[in-house]
């Protein structure tokens, strides 16, 4: 678990021998790894933007945020649209050490109908975090008077 107060954040670890609290200032001045005897059972937090929505076109820009209290395993991340891996269409970047990151990209040429985006990542303890967004892509026709949603 992590709590923030201004530029100071606190990280809490449940240890077999009790609770360990580490303070982090700014960009990780006092940053530390989870000690060898800590037990992490919390999955990473995954957030997709935009979330479930109806799209007015056949593409949408997507931003994904990953956050955990210990290191994320970048190689485990998966971004699947209707079951097809799309992570090569996204740009991954660390935003704070190795426990906060983002992916940005565009889902394009989306066929009309309902589309499902499933994103997941594991932390260094193997805990799996995931999120799902559902997109409804409309069918657009263009009569002589201009475009109209069907």
* Range in 4-13, 43-52, 69-78 with the lowest mean pLDDT: 4-13
pLDDT at 140: 61
Looking at the structure, tell me whether residues 4 and 22 fall in a common domain. yes
Span 32-50, average pLDDT: 79
Looking at the structure, tell me whether residues 21 and 60 fall in a common domain. no
Looking at the structure, tell me whether residues 60 and 113 fall in a common domain. yes
Higher-confidence residue: 5 or 97? 97
Sheet holding 128-137, edge to edge: 53-55, 128-137, 113-123, 72-81, 84-85
Looking at the structure, tell me whether residues 49 and 95 fall in a common domain. yes
Share of the chain above pLDDT 70, in %: 67
Is the pTM higher than 0.85?
Answer: no
Question: Count of domains in the chain?
Answer: 2
Looking at the structure, tell me whether residues 29 and 7 fall in a common domain. yes
| Residue 44: CATH number of its domain | 2.60.40.650
Please write the tens of the pLDDT for every residue from 70-125.
889 999 999 999 999 999 999 999 987 778 999 999 999 898 999 999 999 999 88
Looking at the structure, tell me whether residues 81 and 16 fall in a common domain. no
Looking at the structure, tell me whether residues 104 and 47 fall in a common domain. yes
Share of the chain above pLDDT 90, in %: 49
Q: Is 118 helix (H, G, I), strand (E, B) or coil?
A: strand
Measured between alpha carbons, how far is 136 from 83 in angstroms, rounded to an integer? Answer: 16
pLDDT at 50: 95
Higher-confidence residue: 56 or 90? 90
Supply 45's token pair.
């937090």
> Range of 124's domain?
40-149
């Amino acid at each position: 678990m992590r709590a923030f107060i201004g530029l100071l954040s606190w990280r809490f670890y449940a240890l077999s021998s009790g609770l360990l609290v580490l303070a982090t200032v700014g960009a990780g001045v006092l940053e530390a790894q989870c000690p060898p005897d800590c037990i992490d059972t919390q999955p990473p937090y995954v957030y997709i933007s935009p979330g479930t929505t109806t799209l007015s076109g056949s593409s949408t820009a997507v931003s994904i945020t990953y956050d955990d209290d210990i290191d994320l395993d970048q190689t485990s991340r998966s971004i699947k649209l209707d079951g097809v891996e799309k992570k090569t269409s996204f740009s991954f970047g660390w935003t704070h050490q190795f426990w906060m990151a983002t992916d940005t990209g565009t889902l394009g040429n989306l066929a009309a109908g309902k589309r499902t985006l499933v994103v997941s990542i594991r932390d260094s303890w193997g805990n799996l975090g995931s999120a799902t967004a559902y997109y409804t892509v409309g069918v657009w026709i263009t009569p002589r008077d201009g475009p109209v949603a069907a």
